[in-house]
Every structure is written in C-alpha cells, then in structure tokens.
Chain A
Amino acid sequence: MQQLAATVQARAKPWIRDVVPALGGIALHYDPDHPDVHGDALEAAAILVQECMKEEAVAEEAPARTVEVPVCYEREFAPDIEEVARQVKLDLAEVARLHAAGEYRVLMIGFAPGHAYMSGLDAKLAVPRRATPRALVAPGAVAVANEQTVIYPYAISGGWSVIGRTPVAVFDAAREAPSLLAPGDRVRFRPISADEFMALKK
C-alpha cells in the first residue's frame, strides 16, 4: 500500500490533493472540478491506480531507521493498563515489560498527525478496540489494540487502550519533518520513570 501510494504520488497529478495509504485501502482525495480533469474524475482516479499497481516500484526503499521512544508505564500515565492486564490475565509489570520488549515497525501514519500504527505487539497483549472511544486521551498516550500499538499525538478522542505515555512530541508543526515517525521505521520503546517523564517533558 505504501509503495502504491508513492507511485501514485510520483505522478503528481494536480487534481489529486492527497494520497493516503492505509492498511485497509488507499484514498485519493481529489478535486473533481479541477480544469485538468477530463471526463469523470472517479474513473480517471481508478485508471491511475490500476496503472500504478502494474508499475514497478518507483524508488528504492530507504534503509529502515530505528527510533527510540521513551515511555512511562506507571499507572497515572496508563489509564487502561489495569483493564488490559485483567483482559489478558497478566500483572501490570508484565504488560509493561512485554510492551517495551517488542520490536516494532511503522505500518502507516494515519488517524491524527504523526499517529503511527506499529506492528510487532506481543500477541499476549492483543485486546480489541474499546467499545466506546475515550472522549480525550493524553498527548503522547501509548495505546494497544489487535497486535498493534500507537502513540496519540494530542489530546484527542481515541478508541485504543492506553497503557503508557511518552514525553516526546510525535508531531510538531514547527519541525522540518513534522512527523517523528514514517512508514517503515523500526521503533523501540524505552521504559522510563515518572520523574524521567517530567524531566524529558520540559
């Protein structure tokens, strides 16, 4: 999907505003009334995607970076850790240990700015999404669902179970690359104490 998105993006059609790869599909957000659209925009978009699917990869895949992300798993930073522990029948420390021991890979960025979906969660920690999304999660909340883990960039509504929090900004509009993570990155979580969280947050 990431490859396909890159190929579509490389064609740089002026009427296509956004190419968004996701695990369950790819979105082309386009302006159907753009002067460069001849005929039906949906048809043109479908043909473009089909052509790109046939094409070879446009660029060599860049070697994967490894990004270390500090995470505090203490209870005040992890509103759902007890519930997750109960669901998977492990104690709190073991939930934190298994989460931090994982080697993760960024599958896609989506949902919110810089919000990375990462594979590599220990199957023992796999819980379904929450039935009712939380109205607000803390910025930097580290959450799990379905053998994946995510980091919420801001205080937003979210449906995954929060088991920790990072003091690092995963999206910063003022940074040259606003998103900390990119698809393909390798990610490791480093457990930190509440004191270290506060020190890093400053």
Chain B
Amino acid sequence: MSVRVLRPGLLTTLQDHGRQGLQHVGLCPGGAMDPVALALANALVGNEAGEAALEITVIGPELSFEEDALVALCGAEFDGSFPHNRPVLAPAGSRFNVGHAARGARAYLAVAGGFAVAPVLGSRSTYLPGHFGGFQGRSLKHGDALELRDPGASGRFAKLKKTRNGTVKWSAPPFTLPDREPILVHVLEGQHFASFDSNAQRSFFDTVWKIAPESNRMGFRLTGPALVRSEQSEILSGPTALGSVQVPANGTPIALMADHQTTGGYPRIAEIVSADVARLAQLAPGGTVHFARCDLGMAAELRHDSKERLSAALRGIAWNYGQ
C-alpha cells in the first residue's frame, strides 16, 4: 500500500512534532512549521497528534492512492477540489491534486496509520540541510512511492455520517490562517533590545514587515527599514530559540523558524511568543506582519488560550468519531 507522487509541488516534506533533546549538539527540534495544523490533520484521521504528515508549501502536490486511504488536509487553504479540514476517503486509484495556496502557506496532509519511514534520531521529520529524516532526507520528487503503515485504519471512516461528496458536514477550525494581513504577532523584548537605538526600537514595532523571498524553514527574513544598533560591538554566540528575531549588521531582521540554528552571534531584538509562531509560519514570501510588544504574563496567557482552543477542537473531532 503506497501513495505515489505524480507531481511533487514546490516543497513537500514529511514532518512530525520534531526531535527534542539534541540542541546541545547543534540540532534544532525541526518538525512541522505549523504544529497546530499538523495536530488537527492527525486527529481527523485518528493518528497521534505528533505523527508524521506531508508538509505542503505554497504549491501542492498531485498524489495517487493505491488503496482506499483516509486522509485529511489542514492548515493553508489550497485551490483545487480537495476538501479542507475534514476526513476524506481517497478511494483506491484516486488522484488528489492539491493546487496552489489561496490563504496561508503550509498545509499538512495526514494519512490514517501514518507513513512507514524509519525515525532518525527519534523523529520522522525531514531535516533538509542535513539530508536526513523523513523520506530519504529530502523533499518529494515525481515518481516517489511512500509506504503507509496501517491501511486498515481507514475503516473508522465507515462510522461517520457522510455527505454526497464523500466527506463529512463538520470541519476542524483553521486556527492559524491569516484573516487579513498584516497579521499581528506578539513578541517579548529580546536580550539585546536595549542595544538598538530608539529609532530602531520604534520602527521594529511601527513597521509592517514583509516576508522576503529568501525565507525558508530555517528563518524568515523580514523586509523593511534597516534596524541600527547604537553599539556596533560584536556579541558572544548565545542560545537562540524558535521565534527569536535576530538582526545581522545589515539591519534586516530574521525570525528563526522550525529548522533554526541553536545558537547565534547576532543581536536578538525580540522573541516571538510560542503561541504566535505557527501563525507566522502560515505567511508565504510577500506576506506581511507587524509586531506587538507583550510581557511574559501575556505570553503565558496566549499560550494557554491557543492550547485550550486546540484541545477543544481535538475533543470535538473525537466526539464526531463517537469516542
């Protein structure tokens, strides 16, 4: 039982919830850029929240299924006929054309049972720079055949009440998609915020930043005014985190994303709160964002709220399955 790749799309990789515990040897956790959408896609097909799914970027793939498979696509909305945020039975021999992203940048295609690839260093995530993990350590290509672990899992779909087009009436909510741009992203002041001059501090919060084309899973480069530091002294390499916003000497901020570096020597002007990173990940190059200052208390509240929203949605999905 396998899924065949007829067209790979722009950048389609297997991603799960990432590899923890290896940052001391320089390896970032990686994993899904939008873990919220990944968790929803997995829940819709009855997988564990952290199971590996296909991360689809901006231009979707075309896939064919050898046997009946229960699949779900969550995250960015793509044009094309694929129903979003719902469990869908892909009948044997069917073709799925995911199309182009109409809203958001990344979607997750989960298949019931999961993909049969061996974990590397504890995860099935593809780490592109290192050419390991996921499917042969790379993004999908035309002609690839991905084996599935447990095709029998699609049987659970039979229990659901279906509509004419072969899916269900209800759907999972698109939590991380931008309603309008610029999106608002909350940040804490970074360790080196004070070393920027007052103009730079102000324009960091006043600017509508644009995601530059040379952005990737490692980091988003933000186009806008150059941010100047009042002291130009070099700083010692310090730890970085998912969502750190660092500013190299050219003044262009870079927001660190899933495949981020574990340490860095550029000053960090801000730290994006964990609750907002997945929404930022849904911006494609050209997408816009502005930053709002918040404190640790508010960051914790935002995290708590987004976790609650996700758990409620996951409970709703389980309820629909009658669990």
Chain A residues with CB under 8 Å of chain B are: 5, 9, 17-27, 29, 32-33, 42, 108-115, 117, 128-129, 131-133, 135, 145-146, 153-157, 159, 171, 173-174, 178-179
Contacts and interface: CB of A to CB of B under 8 A. Distances in A.
A9 to B, nearest CB: 8
B258 to A, nearest CB: 14
Contacts of A26: 239
A35 to B, nearest CB: 14
B53 interface: no
Contact of A18 (B20, B120, B235, B250): B20
Contacts of A132: 248-250
B140 interface: no
Contact of A110 (B21, B239, B266): B239
A163 to B, nearest CB: 18
Interface stretch (B105-113, B128-136, B170-178): B128-136
A179 B237 contact: no
Nearest to B240: A27
Contacts of B214: 135
Residue with the highest number of chain B CB atoms closer than 10 Å, among A18, A27, A117, A145: A18
Contacts of A133: 248
Contacts of B263: 20, 22, 108, 110-111
A110 B237 CA distance: 9
A153 B25 CA distance: 12
A201 to B, nearest CB: 15
Interface of B: 20-27, 29, 120-121, 127, 129-133, 191, 214, 218-219, 234-241, 248-250, 261-266, 296, 300, 303, 307
Given A113-B26, A145-B265, 5 more contacts: A24-B236, A24-B237, A29-B23, A109-B24, A109-B25
B307 A173 contact: no
B129 A156 contact: yes
B238 A29 contact: no
Nearest to A177: B25
Contact of A21 (B24, B133, B240): B24
A129 B265 contact: yes
Contacts of B27: 113, 171, 178
Contact of A113 (B130, B265, B303): B130
Contacts of B131: 154
A17 B239 CA distance: 14
